[in-house]
Amino acid sequence: MKGRVRLLKAGVWAACLSPLAWIVYRFFLVDGLGANPIEALEHWSGDAAITTLLAALSVTPLRRLTGWNVLQKVRRLVGLFAFRYVGEDIAERPFILVGFTAFVLLIPMAVTSTKGWIRRLGKNWVRLHRLVYVSSVLGVVHFLWATKGDDRWPLVAAAAWAVLMLSRLPWKRLRARPTRREAPAPPAHAPRPRAPEVLSETG
């Protein structure tokens, strides 16, 4: 089991570091980020931030869908990467208030991501980390706002966010809820009511 967890975490590290590896590859080996490297960096940081945020949100639906509970062990790791990439995005475009707000909301989750804080906060830890829902929608809005001209990827991100939120609804409980209250059926062993006796008159 521990070997599988280590392998999973190694894969998550590789996936979360891939945006950084891609920008380094482009800068040194391809085109030096093109004619406008500042704009290329801005788009890269925004893409990396929203992708890792959506990845953090997808952990719970994937766990429920596959039954692989070990996925919960990498949720904090993905959230910390999202915190890092959002921070880089804000540093490059500090005038975007929405992105900065998303970054601020991620700070308490990043600080309390250790096992010690989980023990100290108890159930409040789960409530605190629900801020990721607000932060993610602000990240999507930031992505839509910052993109100029081509809105395809921001719309894809918004659609992915909507699907991930809908997957959290208690569909089973909603389907099982009765539409109307019906009178309970009598038990099978209940005795049948006796017919009234008719007294005969003799003449």
Q: Tell me if 177 is assigned to some domain.
A: no
What is the structure's pLDDT at 74? 83
Expressed in angstroms, the distance from the first to the final Cα of the chain is 94
C-alpha atoms less than 13 angstroms from C-alpha of 107 in its C-beta half-sphere: 7
21-37 mean pLDDT: 77
Residue at token pair 């085109």: 31
Q: How confident is the model at residue 201 (pLDDT cuts 50, 70, 90)?
A: very low
Q: Tell me if 201 is assigned to some domain.
A: no
Give the pLDDT confidence of 156-192 residue by residue, as tens digits. 888 888 888 888 777 666 665 555 555 555 555 555 5
For residues 143 and 43, the answer to whether their CB atoms sit within 8 Å is: no
**Model-level pTM greater than 0.95?**
no
What is the structure's pLDDT at 98? 77
What is the structure's pLDDT at 185? 57
Q: Tell me if 111 is assigned to some domain.
A: yes
What is the structure's pLDDT at 1? 67
Give the pLDDT confidence of 4-28 residue by residue, as tens digits. 778 888 888 888 888 888 888 877 7
| Residue 202 clears pLDDT 50, i.e. is over it | no
What is the structure's pLDDT at 149? 65
172 or 37, which is more confident: 37
Other residues' Cβ atoms within 10 Å of the Cβ of residue 26: 16
Q: Tell me if 194 is assigned to some domain.
A: no
82-94 mean pLDDT: 72
What is the structure's pLDDT at 203? 43
Nearest C-alpha neighbor of 155 from the set 165, 168, 169, 145: 145
**Given 3-state DSSP classes, what are the helix, strand and coil percentages for the chain, each rounded to the nearest 5?**
75, 0, 25
Task: Work out how many domains the chain is built from and give that number.
Answer: 1
Q: What whole-number distance in Å separates Cα of residue 62 and Cα of residue 69?
A: 9
Q: Tell me if 105 is assigned to some domain.
A: yes
Could you list the residue range(s) of the whole structural domain that residue 148 is in?
A: 2-170
What is the structure's pLDDT at 130? 84
Give the pLDDT confidence of 91-140 residue by residue, as tens digits. 666 556 777 788 888 888 888 888 888 888 888 888 888 888 888 888 88
What is the structure's pLDDT at 11? 87
Q: Tell me if 179 is assigned to some domain.
A: no
Q: What whole-number distance in Å separates Cα of residue 126 and Cα of residue 73?
A: 14
Q: Tell me if 6 is assigned to some domain.
A: yes
Q: How confident is the model at residue 66 (pLDDT cuts 50, 70, 90)?
A: confident
Give the amino acid at 22: W
The residue length of the chain stands at 203
Query: Which range has the worst mean pLDDT, 44-53, 86-95, 182-191, 193-202?
Result: 193-202
C-alpha dihedral, 45 to 49 to 51 to 52, nearest 10°: 130
Q: Tell me if 34 is assigned to some domain.
A: yes
